[in-house]
Chain A
Amino acid sequence: MKVKIIERNILNPSAEIEASKMELTPITDTISKISLFNNTKPNADVILNTIAENSDDINFVYVKKPAGAPATVEQIKKASEADISILALGDCGSCTTWVILDAIKLENNGIPTISICSHKFSTFAHELAKSHGIENLRILEIEHPIAGQSPEQVEIKVKKILPKIKDLLKLHKK
C-alpha cells in the first residue's frame, strides 16, 4: 500500500476590486471662471493664490473644504459654480484621499478638475483615482514638502508647475 501525503491548499486573502469606470470631464476652450478649492492644509492657500495671481482675465470662486474628510454638499455645489475647479492640497494620506474623492465628485457633476498633490503622495493619488475608475484624473505634482515652508519657498514650487496648469487650462491660447 502506498500513502500519498497531500498538503492542503491555502486560500487567497486578497479581495477582488469593485470595478467601475467613469469618463473625465473635458475642459472647455474658453475658461472664464475657476473655483479654487482649498482644504486648508498649510500653504494650500499660497498655492491657489499664486495660481490666481498668474492667471489674467479669469474670475475666481474661493471655497474651503475639510482636509481629511469629504466636502459638504454645499461646498461641492459652490465649487461647481465655475468652468473648472482646482483642488489643493494633497500632501498627506487623508487630505490626498479627499482631494481626489472630492475631485471625482466634481467630475461626476460635469465639472473638470485639477488636483494638486505633493510628489510624495501623487502615486497614491493616481492609484486611488484608478481604483475609482478614473485613471486619467488630472493630478499635478508639486514638490514635497509644502507644510512647514515659507510662502516664498512655496511660491517657487508653484511657479514650476504653472506652465502645466496653463497648458491644461488652455490659457496660452489667449
Chain B
Amino acid sequence: MGNKNNEIKTNDNACGCLIDDLIGENLENKKNKREKLENNRLCGSQESDLEVYVDPDNEKVSYDYYMRKLTDGLPIIPPTKERLLKCLQYTDQDPNDVIAILPPRQGKATMEKIVINSIMAGCIPAFIPVITCAIQAISREEFNLPGVNATTHPAAICIILNGPVSREIAINSSVGCLGPGNIANATIGRALRLCLMNLAGAVPGIGDHATMGSPAKYSFCFGEAENENPWTPLQVERGFNKNTSTVTVMAVDAPHNVNDHRSRTAEELLDTIIHTAAVSGSNNSHVPGEFLLIMGPEHAKTVADDGWEKNDIKNYIHENAIVPVELADRGGRKLDEQWIADGEVKITRSPEDVVLVVAGGAGRHTMIAHGFGTSSESVTLPLTFKDGSPLHSIQDYKNQKIIE
C-alpha cells in the first residue's frame, strides 16, 4: 500500500509466498517452522533459493568509469567476468601473460587487461586476436610508442588489416570503410585507444599531450580491399604470403581527402595527390618520413590502366612531393641539412615511405594521412598463435580449445 508520499512499504520478512504454500509448508516440515519462528519469518525461503545474475547498469557503469578517466567519453559495455571468459576462447595466451609493457606509464598489458578494454570498447570476442596483434606491433621499438603517446602532435594510430581474417571478421574495406557503420572498424580501433589510456596511461593531459587531440584517436581501423587492388596488397609488399593475415599499425594524422573526378591519366591524378600532400605544417615537411596513401578503387584503376606499377607510384610521389625549405623548416625539430636539396625538401625519405593501400567504395576519392615523421615507423605483424605458428582462421583458437 502506498503512503501519502506514494512510497510502497514492505515488510523485510515478506517472502512473496502464497498463503496456501505457507500453510502447506508449515504442516509438512515442523523443524523448518521452528527455524522460521526463530528468525521471525513467515516461511522457509532463503535468499539463496534462486539467485539471478544480471548485468550491471550500462549507464551507471559508463558514468562511473568516465568519472574515473577510464573511458574515451563514450558509453562502454560493462566488462564482466562472463564476457571475459567468452573472449578468452579466442586466444591461446593465459590471462596473466604479459603481451607488452606500454609507456609512458609502463603498464603491463596482460591478456586479461587487453580483453577487458576490448569488451568496454564493444568488441565481439572474435576481434581479440587482432587487438592483441596490434598491441604487439605498437610495442616494437621502431614504432616509438613513448613518443607517439605523449606527443602534442595529433598522432592517431591507424590499424590496417590484410588477409583472410580481415574478411572473416567482416571488417569494412569498401564504401565508408573509414566510418561510421561497421562494428569491427569502430571497435577494434577504439579497443586499442582504451588500452592506450588504461594500460599505457595515455590519458589526455596526463600521458597524452596532443594539443587538440584528434577525432582519429577514437578509432582509425579498416581493411585493405585486396580484390580491388591492381597491385600487390600491403602484407605481400612487406614479405608475407597473400594468405597470411596481418595487422599494420602506423602513427598518422587524421586522413585528408583528395577529390579528383577529372584526371584520366596516372600523372594527372598523382599530381593532385602530391599537391594535397606536399604542405608545410605536417611532420613530413620538417622530419620526412612515412606517408599513408589510401587510394580509392576507381583512382587505383585509372593509375593501373595507365600502366603504372606500385613502385612507379611510390617513386613519382617521392620525387615530386616537395615543400620549399623556408616553409618546411617550421616544425618542432630543426630541419636537418640532409633533407634539403636545391632549396626544397621531399616529404618522404625514400619511395618506400609511401605506404600505399587500396580501400573504399565507388567514387573518385583518395585519402592521405601524414605520418609522425622520422620518429615512428609503421609495423606489420602476422596473426599467430603463442608459439609463432600462423593463424589461418579466427576459429582456430576455438577449435584448439575444443581439442584441449
Contacts and interface: CB of A to CB of B under 8 A. Distances in A.
Interface string A46-85: 0000000000000000000011111000000000000000
A107 B270 CA distance: 49
A147 B332 contact: yes
Contacts of A101: 146
Given A7-B54, A68-B332, A1 B79 contact: no
Given A1-B50, A15-B108, A124-B206, A93 B150 contact: yes
B48 A1 contact: no
Given A13-B198, A41-B333, A94-B153, A1 B144 contact: no
Interface string B104-119: 1111111011001100
B209 A121 contact: yes
B152 A92 contact: yes
A39 B375 CA distance: 13
B207 interface: yes
Contacts of A5: 52, 54
Interface residues of A, number: 43
A13 B70 contact: yes
A92 B155 CA distance: 13
Interface stretch (A16-24, A108-116, A163-171): A16-24
A66 B53 contact: no
Interface string B143-183: 01011111111000000000000000000000000000000
A8 B56 contact: yes
Contacts of A95: 332-333
Interface stretch (A28-36, A125-133, A135-143, A153-161): A125-133
B55 interface: yes
B263 interface: no
A15 B107 contact: yes
B199 interface: yes
A97 B376 CA distance: 14
A174 to B, nearest CB: 33
A97 B146 contact: yes
B28 interface: no
B148 A94 contact: yes
Contact of B151 (A16, A20, A93, A127): A93
A41 B332 CA distance: 6
Given A6-B54, A17-B108, A18-B108, A11 B333 contact: no
A66 B374 contact: yes
Contacts of A15: 102, 105, 107-110, 113, 198-200
A97 B209 CA distance: 11
B194 interface: yes
Contacts of A2: 15-16, 45-47, 49-50
Interface string A89-101: 0001111111001
Contacts of A26: none
B70 A1 contact: no
Q: Max chain B CB contacts within 10 Å: which of A9, A68, A98, A132?
A: A68
Interface stretch (B31-39, B80-88, B362-370): B80-88
Q: Max chain A CB contacts within 10 Å: which of B17, B105, B194, B200?
A: B105
A93 B152 contact: yes
B334 interface: yes
A124 B107 CA distance: 16
Give the size range of B's interface with the partner: 35 or more
B147 A98 contact: yes
A42 B332 contact: yes
B51 interface: yes
Contact of B106 (A9, A121, A124, A131): A131
B151 to A, nearest CB: 4
Q: Max chain A CB contacts within 10 Å: which of B52, B120, B150, B334?
A: B150
A56 B242 CA distance: 65
A4 interface: yes
Contacts of A124: 104, 150, 206-207, 209
Contacts of B57: 7
Contact of A7 (B56, B112, B198): B56
A25 interface: no
Given A11-B81, A93-B208, A1 B15 contact: yes
Contact of A68 (B102, B117, B151): B151
B372 A68 contact: yes
A116 to B, nearest CB: 16
Nearest to B145: A97
A108 B63 CA distance: 43
A17 B105 contact: yes
Contacts of A127: 104, 206-207
A132 B147 contact: no
Given A94-B147, A132-B106, A13 B117 contact: yes
Interface string B344-363: 00000000000000000000
11 contacts: A1-B50, A2-B45, A8-B53, A13-B65, A13-B117, A14-B70, A41-B332, A68-B153, A92-B152, A92-B153, A131-B106
Closest 5 A/B residue pairs (Cβ): A15-B107, A93-B209, A93-B150, A94-B151, A94-B147
